[in-house]
Structure 1
Amino acid sequence: MPRFSPRTKVATVSALTALGALASLGTATAAEPALNGEWAPFTRCPVDAPAMLAADGFDKTPQCVVSTSAGGSIKLGRTTVVTGRTNLQIGVVQNTDGTSSVVAPPSGALVADSATVPGGLLGLMCPSDIPVITALCETLENSSLNKITATMESVGAPYAFDQTAGVLTDLPIVALPVRIHLENPLLGGKCYIGSASHPIVLRPKNLDYPEFGMSLFQGNGTPDESGEMSRINLTGATQSDSTFAVPAATGCGLNIGLINAAVNAKTGLPSASGNNNLTLDDTQTHLTGLNAPGTVAPDAGRVLAENWHSAVR
């Protein structure tokens, strides 16, 4: 391992800081529409996706699903982060054989608030016996550069959706491929735990039974006991998963990968299934679709899309 002079260490820190200044410090999302009445939670339902529009109402039935949580926590290896709001939205095509296909919105199925990683970079990679990392650690003490945020992002369409599992306990409801974006000026803009080719696959399940409710409404979202649309409401359950594995972090800092090694060593990554955990508190799940899709066959998907668009305010 070559020795680094103080001037080289300072230059390295400066280069990393400049690199980080170019990185996005948040996930930009397009403005979501405001929807009327009972449609209100379904702001990102992919009603215009070809698979949804092609659902005929006989063999294939289109639905919209949204599940939110105000907060929770996620444990990755030896690091636990308190999470903020999460919003999962998908389109679902239910087949007559009991299977289903999941359709993700163009922006991705999951939108989540960024969370602050305890201890920041000092907690993630210090101390270290790697000279450049040691130099970085010395500059971080009492520095605003120490703060690091983690944001969960979708990296593929969810799959294995089980509508029945949503009203029961201890059964996986959906498989959700994600990655964790670690953000800090010294990490650069491409520091991730997980990727499209090696995602973290979450399979949340209810730990307790949700409260069940149902409402009926017109196509434009106006509540109506004789309306053509129905909405199932499952609220108040805690969801969890401890089955997922977590790959090593990649893309952190300079291309030589020194920060990757420090982050992974301190955090305990990669981490096998059983060593990690996700908890989502007070989940609110809603599923909506046409009451009698067969009566508008073969145009159930098109009618669902028209109804959604009629509710946009």
Structure 2
Amino acid sequence: MKSRNKFRVMSTVALVATFVMAGAGVAIADESSSGSSGSGSLGSSGAAEVDPLTFDGWGTCPIEDLEVTTCASVVVRGGTMKLGALSVPIPDGSLKVAGGVKYATQPDNSFIETFVAKQDGSNGVYSNPISVPGGALGIDTPLGLTQISATVESVGVPDLKVLEQELTMPVRLKLSNPLLGDDCYIGSVSNPINLHLTTTGNPPSEPIGEFPGAVFPAVPHSDAVFAAPGASGCGPLGALNWAVNLRGGVPAASGKNSLTTSSDVYAVAARKVRPPA
């Protein structure tokens, strides 16, 4: 995969290296989407629509860490997740990965990127519940009695590579319905869904207003090789795990699942985010 991306990465390095040498950082699109605990809430999905190439807040960048030179965020604008028999559309504004990036220069002048999440309990992943089409029975019923919502929760700090437009993160999917209780998950802390999202080509960038940074709009990401574990904690003492497994077609081995997204990836100088000394 590294060889596949080599040409694209080298053509991107010049841009991002400029940010780094200037004390660059990554933007946080839409401050209203910042969360403070759990999976990290993105805020109300009914918020006023904004220009996808602008942003107005920096609350998810760990600027208190002076080694962070870039503030970065991946704002998912749409996509689809398929887990076994489940196919769940991902609407605009339902998922964001945001934090800071530290860089170290190697003897060959290449960079090592380290993603750093803000210490707010989110692991740098901020999400809103997503409605599962068909609910618990696979069909929509009157009054939504079988409706299920799914929320992506991070179980570890993601690995975001701005230079290569790659995102790796271990997650679990929380399923919410009155019958399922509050601890129904596909995936767990010890056995997560391990996502590794990559792109192809050389995504073009655009400037972000007066900030020393850039946005890579509508970057296509995909992963079709991750496995999906079975359900746990669904219903009293896990009594409905079997029903969730049957409905979702999980556990599902690698090759039976996929995630495709279109995201705006922001990178802005952290020095511009920090308040004046």
Q: Which structure's CA Rg is the greater one?
A: 1
Match of 1:193 in 2: 186
Identity %: 33
Letter in 2 for 1:65: A
CA deviations on 1:57-116 (whole Å, 9 max, x unpaired) are xxxx62111111222110001110111222110211111122222211224212123211
Letter in 2 for 1:103: V
Distance 1:288 1:158 in 2: 19
**What is the TM-score with the length of structure 2 in the denominator?**
0.71
Letter in 1 for 2:161: D
Distance 2:167 2:59 in 1: 20
Match of 2:69 in 1: 62
Distance 1:209 1:254 in 2: 49
Could you tell me how far 1:208 is from its partner in structure 2?
A: 5.1
Distance 2:58 2:202 in 1: 23
Distance 1:254 1:110 in 2: 29
Match of 1:110 among 125, 129, 134: 125
Match of 1:3 in 2: none
Letter in 2 for 1:92: V
Letter in 1 for 2:273: W
Q: Is the 8 A contact 1:42 1:65 kept in 2?
A: no
Match of 1:241 among 214, 219, 223: 223
Match of 1:298 in 2: none
Could you tell me how far 1:234 is from its partner in structure 2?
A: 0.8
Q: Is the 8 A contact 2:39 2:121 kept in 1?
A: no
* Compared CA separation, residues 196 and 119, structure 1 to 2 (3 A): same
Letter in 2 for 1:288: V
* Compared CA separation, residues 141 and 238, structure 1 to 2 (3 A): closer
Q: Does the residue aligned with 2:150 lie in a helix, a strand or coil?
A: strand
Letter in 2 for 1:186: L
Could you tell me how far 1:211 is from its partner in structure 2?
A: 2.2
Distance 1:42 1:280 in 2: 23
Letter in 2 for 1:67: V
Q: How many residues align?
A: 223
Match of 1:271 among 226, 245, 252: 252
Distance 1:141 1:29 in 2: 28
Distance 2:168 2:61 in 1: 18
Distance 1:280 1:189 in 2: 27
Could you tell me how far 1:288 is from its partner in structure 2?
A: 1.5
Q: Does the residue aligned with 1:174 lie in a helix, a strand or coil?
A: strand
Q: Does the residue aligned with 1:123 lie in a helix, a strand or coil?
A: coil
* Compared CA separation, residues 141 and 77, structure 1 to 2 (3 A): same
Over the aligned positions, Cα root-mean-square deviation in angstroms equals 2.9
Letter in 1 for 2:133: P
Q: Is the 8 A contact 1:191 1:252 kept in 2?
A: yes
Match of 2:269 in 1: 289
Distance 1:71 1:236 in 2: 9
Q: In structure 1, list runs of 5 or more residues that go unmatched.
A: 1-25, 32-37, 56-60, 125-139, 167-172, 217-222, 224-228, 291-303
Q: Does the residue aligned with 1:119 lie in a helix, a strand or coil?
A: coil
Could you tell me how far 1:193 is from its partner in structure 2?
A: 1.0
Distance 1:236 1:209 in 2: 12
Instruction: List aligned pairs for 1:245-256, cutoff 5 A.
Output: 245-255=227-237
* Compared CA separation, residues 30 and 149, structure 1 to 2 (3 A): closer
Letter in 2 for 1:280: T
* Compared CA separation, residues 142 and 28, structure 1 to 2 (3 A): same
Q: Is the 8 A contact 1:83 1:114 kept in 2?
A: no
Q: Is the 8 A contact 2:223 2:258 kept in 1?
A: yes
Match of 1:308 in 2: 273
Q: Please state which structure has a larger fraction of its residues in helix.
A: 1
Match of 2:24 in 1: none
Q: Is the 8 A contact 1:145 1:186 kept in 2?
A: no
Match of 2:173 in 1: 180
* Compared CA separation, residues 94 and 268, structure 1 to 2 (3 A): same
Distance 1:165 1:30 in 2: 25
